[in-house]
Amino acid sequence: MQKTLRDSAALRWLVLILISSLLFSTYWFYDFYGGIKGLMERGMGISSEEYGRIMSSTTYANVVGMIILGGIILDRWGIRLAGLVFGGLSFLGAIISAAAVAGWFGDDKSTMLIWSIVGRIIFGIGMEVVCVMVTRTIVKWFMGYEMALAMALNIGFGRLGTAMGMAVAPDLAAGGFISPAFSFAAILIGISLVFFIIYIFFDIKIDKQRAESGIVTEEEVDEEKFRFADFKKLITNRSFIYIALLCMVFYSAVFPLLAYAPDLLVNKYGFSYEMGSDGEFLIFGSAILGTAFIFVLLLIFGLSFSMVPRAFKSNTHKLLSFLVISTLFLGYVYVLRDVFSEWLLNGPKTASLIPMGTILFTPIFGSIVDKKGKAATLMMIGSALLVFAYLSLSVFNHVYLGYLGLISLGIAFSLVPAAMWPAVARIVAENRLGTAYGTMFTFQNWGLAAFFWGIGALLDFVNRYRLADIEAGLTNYDYTIPVLMLALLGVISAWLAYKLKQADKLQGYGLENPHTSN
Ligand SMILES: NCCCC[C@H](N)C(=O)NCC(=O)O
C-alpha cells in the first residue's frame, strides 16, 4: 500500500506537538485565573461571587448545546476550517478578556466585569470544540499506531498548561498588575494558532495522499458523524446516564475547586500569593523561565515514569529503567530542594502540583484499569477520596492534613478520569464516541456552570459580615462551608459510580473486567 505522511513516526509526533499546543494554551487560559483570584478581586474591585460568575460564564454557551453544535459543525467543515474558526474564537475571547482587564472598554468595575464575561463566553465556545477537534486529529494520525500514548501526551500538555498557568500567573502579575498575566495567556493561544496553521499544510497533504490511495471512503467519514438517533439511544441507556451524571458531578467537584484552590490555601493556611526570592529559580535572570523549566522537567519525569519501564519486555529491564529514572528524579528534587520547600508554602505553586501530579498518576491508573479492570469500583474509590480530601481541607485545620487532602485530590483527579474515559468506550460503539463525549461534556458544563459560580457566591454569603475586613486585609475568607459542599458532591459521585456498577452488571458491558488478557 502507498505510504502516507502518517507512516513517518517523526511527522506523527511533530503533528502531535503542533496540535497539542492548542490544548496547552487553552487549558492555560481556562485555569490561570485561579492563581490570581485575590489579585483580580483587588485589581478589578470584584467580589468572590463576581469572580465565580466570570469563571462560570465559560460554560454559558455550552450548557445550551454549543459543544454538540460545534461537533456537528466539525463534521461538516472538517478539522481545518473548524479548527481555525473555534481556535480563533478561543483567541478572540482571550483577547476580549485581556482588553477588559486592561480597561480598554472602560475602567469602571461593571464594564470590566461585563466584558470579562463576554470574553470568557466566547473563549468557552472555542475551547471545548477545540478539545474535540484535537482528539479527532489524533485519531486521524495515530489510529493503528501509538494512539493511547498520543492521547496521554495530549492530555499531559493540557494539564501542563493548567499547572503552569496557575503557577506562573502570579509572577506575571507582579506588583498586583493583573493585565500582563491576561495578555501573556492570550498571546499563547495566538502562538498555538500559528502552530495550527502550520499543521494545516500537513492536513491538506495527508488528505490528498489518502484520497489518491483510496484510504478514506465516504462511508468511513460518515460513520464518525453526529446523528440525533445516536443521541436519543445514548440518553436512554442506563449505564451511559450514570456515567454522564458521574462526569458532571465529579468534574463539578474538581475543576471549580482548582479555580479557588490557591486562594483557599492562602486564606486557610496563610500561604503566600507572591513568591519570595528564595523560591525563585532563575534562568537567564528570569523566574518565569525558571518555573517553566521546572514544570517541563516534571512533565518529562512524569511521562518517563509511566511510559519508559512499560516499553521494556523483560522485568529486569523494567526495574532497571525505573531505578535510573527514580535516581535522576531524586537528584532533581535534591538540587531544587530549597525552591520546592518555598513552593509548598505558596498557594498558586502548591495548587499547581495537583494537575502536575495527574500527569504521573493518570497513565499508571490507566494501565491498572487495562490489566485488572474494576473500572466502576475504581471510580467509587476515586470519589470516596474526594470526600476525604474535602473533609481534610474544610473541617480540619492542620496544614499537614491539608497536604494529605491535596494529594488525595490529585489521586482522585487521576483515578476517575483514567477509569471513566475508557469505560465510555465500552458502553458506546467506537464510531459513536464523538457524540458520547460531546454529550458528556455538555452535562459536565451544566455542573461547572453551577459550581464555578456557586463556590464564590457561597463564599461571599458565609463571610457576609466580614467582607469589609477581608477587603481591608484584616481577616481571611472562611472556606469551610463551600469546601464541605464539594465533599457532598464526592458522596453523590461515589453513589453514581455504585449505580453504574449495578447497571453494568445488568447490561453486561464488562466495566469490571480487564481490557488486556495478561
Ligand atoms: N480545565 C480544563 C477544562 C477541560 C474541559 C474538558 N471538557 C474536559 O473535561 N476534558 C477532560 C479532562 O480531564 O481535562
Q: Are residues 356 and 478 in the same domain?
A: yes
| SS3 per residue for 86-104 | HHHHHHHHHHHHHHHHCCC
Total structural domains in the chain?
A: 3
Tell me the pLDDT tens digit for each residue of 176-222. 899 999 999 999 999 999 999 999 999 999 999 888 887 654 345 55
What is the distance in A from the centroid of ligand 1 to the CA of 259?
13
Tell me, yes or no, whether 223 lies in a domain.
no
Q: Are residues 381 and 414 in the same domain?
A: yes
Q: Are residues 195 and 287 in the same domain?
A: no
| CA-proximal residue: ligand 1, atom 8 (nearest) | 441
Q: Are residues 134 and 161 in the same domain?
A: yes
Q: Are residues 80 and 121 in the same domain?
A: yes
Q: What is the pTM of this model?
A: 0.91
Residue 203 pLDDT: 95
Q: Are residues 354 and 492 in the same domain?
A: yes
Residue 143 pLDDT: 81
Could you identify the atom of ligand 1 that is nearest to the CA of residue 162? 1
Q: What is the mean pLDDT of residues 311-316?
A: 90
What is the distance in A from the centroid of ligand 1 to the CA of 27?
8
Helices (H), ranges, 173-237: 179-213, 218-223, 228-234
pLDDT above 90 covers a percentage of the chain that reads 69
pLDDT at 278 over 80: no
- CB crowding 177-190: b at 16 or more within 10 Å, else e: ebbbbbbbbbebbe
Q: Are residues 201 and 167 in the same domain?
A: yes
Q: Are residues 69 and 50 in the same domain?
A: yes
CATH of the domain at 115: 1.20.1250.20
Could you identify the atom of ligand 1 that is nearest to the CA of residue 441? 7
| SS3 per residue for 250-265 | HHHHHHHHHHHHHHHH
Residue 122 pLDDT: 98
Domain-ending residue, one of 170, 185, 214 = 214
Tell me, yes or no, whether 145 lies in a domain.
yes
CA dist 95 and 483 (Å) reads 32
Q: Which residues line ligand 1 (CB under 6 A)?
A: 27, 30-31, 128, 131, 158, 162, 251, 255, 417, 441, 444
Tell me, yes or no, whether 438 lies in a domain.
yes
Tell me the pLDDT tens digit for each residue of 98-142. 999 999 999 999 999 999 999 999 999 999 999 989 988 988 898
Residue 218 pLDDT: 39
Q: Is 274 left (phi over 0), alpha (psi -120 to 50) or beta?
A: beta
| CA-proximal residue: ligand 1, atom 5 (nearest) | 128
Could you identify the atom of ligand 1 that is nearest to the CA of residue 26? 2
Q: What is the mean pLDDT of residues 417-441?
A: 85
Tell me the pLDDT tens digit for each residue of 443-485. 999 999 999 999 999 999 999 999 999 888 889 999 999 999 9
CA dist 512 and 518 (Å) reads 15
What is the distance in A from the centroid of ligand 1 to the CA of 151?
13
Tell me, yes or no, whether 117 lies in a domain.
yes
- Map grid coordinates 488478557 to a residue: 517
Q: What share of the chain is helix, strand, coil (3-state, %, to 5)?
A: 85, 0, 15
Residue 217 pLDDT: 44
What is the distance in A from the centroid of ligand 1 to the CA of 473?
34
Q: Are residues 49 and 131 in the same domain?
A: yes
pLDDT at 360 over 70: yes
What is the distance in A from the centroid of ligand 1 to the CA of 166?
15
Q: What is the mean pLDDT of residues 499-505?
A: 97
Residue 516 pLDDT: 60
Tell me, yes or no, whether 244 lies in a domain.
yes
What is the distance in A from the centroid of ligand 1 to the CA of 82?
19
pLDDT at 299 over 80: yes
Q: Are residues 265 and 409 in the same domain?
A: yes
Could you identify the atom of ligand 1 that is nearest to the CA of residue 255? 1
| CA-proximal residue: ligand 1, atom 7 (nearest) | 441
- Asked if 55 and 452 count as a contact pair (C-beta separation under 8 A), the reply is yes
Q: What is the mean pLDDT of residues 13-20?
A: 95
Q: Are residues 174 and 149 in the same domain?
A: yes
| CA-proximal residue: ligand 1, atom 10 (nearest) | 131
What interface predicted TM-score (ipTM) does this complex get?
A: 0.97
pLDDT at 228 over 60: yes
| CA-proximal residue: ligand 1, atom 4 (nearest) | 27
pLDDT above 70 covers a percentage of the chain that reads 96
Tell me, yes or no, whether 219 lies in a domain.
no
Residue 503 pLDDT: 97
Q: What is the mean pLDDT of residues 5-32?
A: 95
Q: How confident is residue 515, by pLDDT bands cut at 50, 70 and 90?
A: low
What is the distance in A from the centroid of ligand 1 to the CA of 444?
9
Tell me, yes or no, whether 1 lies in a domain.
no
What is the distance in A from the centroid of ligand 1 to the CA of 264?
22
pLDDT at 268 over 60: yes
Q: Are residues 261 and 144 in the same domain?
A: no
Provide the residue range defining the domain that includes 469: 228-273+349-517
